[in-house]
Structure 1
Amino acid sequence: MASNQGLRDESDGQARRRAVMAVLAHSAMADIAGRLGTIALPMHENLREPEHGLVMVRGRIGGDGAPFNLGEATVSRAAVRLTTGEIGFGYVLGRDQQKAQMIALCDAMVQSTELSGEIETKVIAPLRAAMIADRSRKAAETAATRVDFYTMVRGEG
């Protein structure tokens, strides 16, 4: 029973990190930096200095076909370790090394028991609210241009 609880806790932690990473990846670097500026950042060391490189992007034809190499995309990555031992990773599409560094720091802080509450309330929650508001605004703009087509049935047999 205890092992099932441990697996569930680990799964919840991974889902939470995934949700945080989605918010950070869709946020602008200036917004993340502004929010991180409102809190005291913990001491940390770079495990992997921010760097950029290429990854192969794969696709599928028709959704069930064989995978094929679509092309390459530029990514930036970084890894940090807090003095308390938590390790965070940051990957960003494009050449924004500073954003990758900030995402890695946020990832490590989310895993820390004493820092996770503060990072959630002061950084992640406001960024998530801004992301949801932006998506809602775009959805409303798109819905305003929606055209409904319908077919009239003729009386002929």
Structure 2
Amino acid sequence: MQTAKIDHTQRQRWMQVLARAGQDLGDYSDILRGQAFRHVRQPETGMVMVRGRMGGDGAPFNLGEMSVTRCVVQLRDGTTGYSYVAGRSIEHAELAALADALLQGAEGSRWQADLIDPLQALQHTRAALRDGQAAATRVDFTTLVRGED
């Protein structure tokens, strides 16, 4: 097993990028599926309960359920990759699990540069565009005090 020592926060970061990648991850399908792997757990869709808090720090409450798809794969060298993605995309879950496994391997830094960095840059660009569009519609309400004599 050729697993490199991975920083926990670094892995959280790439898992977040992979979970948000959606259809963009499909552009890397041939490269990712070109690796020898087996399914430990086939991609499957289920439901999870989403919890919320009023005001961010109030008592927790059940907001509702959402669909998630999970997958677990194992590379030939024994490295295991996991994914949980929002929605019902079996392809997205499988590709994210493959990417997770490859990022943990000896060539993890190459996968970081070739896969995660471009996906993250694309996500940041889209977020900035969305923020700019929202800012253009923002209305600044001010309270005027009416002076009466």
TM-score range, shorter chain: 0.7 to 0.9
**For the residues of structure 2 that align with 1:89 and 1:24, how far apart are their CA atoms?**
11
**For the residues of structure 1 that align with 2:11 and 2:146, how far apart are their CA atoms?**
56
**For the residues of structure 2 that align with 1:154 and 1:65, how far apart are their CA atoms?**
37
**For the residues of structure 2 that align with 1:155 and 1:53, how far apart are their CA atoms?**
61
Identity of matched residues, %: 41
Contact 2:68 2:85 in 1 (8 A): yes
| 1:105 to partner: Cα distance | 0.5
Q: Where in structure 2 are there 5+ consecutive unaligned residues?
A: none
Higher mean C-alpha displacement, 68-77 vs 98-107 = 68-77
The CA deviation string for residues 101-137 of structure 1, in whole angstroms up to 9 with x for no partner, is: 11000111111122x1221122111111111111111
What amino acid is aligned across from residue 65 of structure 2 in structure 1?
E
Contact 1:36 1:123 in 2 (8 A): no
Higher RCO, 1 vs 2 (CA within 8 Å, ≥6 residues apart): 2
SS of 1:108's equivalent?
A: helix
The corresponding residue for 1:44 is 37
The corresponding residue for 1:149 is 141
CA RMSD of aligned residues (A): 2.5
TM-score (norm 2): 0.83
Contact 2:75 2:101 in 1 (8 A): yes
The CA deviation string for residues 12-64 of structure 1, in whole angstroms up to 9 with x for no partner, is: 621111111111122222x2121243567321111101111111222223433
The CA deviation string for residues 45-99 of structure 1, in whole angstroms up to 9 with x for no partner, is: 1110111111122222343333222222111100011111211101111111111
What amino acid is aligned across from residue 54 of structure 1 in structure 2?
M
SS of 1:52's equivalent?
A: strand
Aligned length: 146
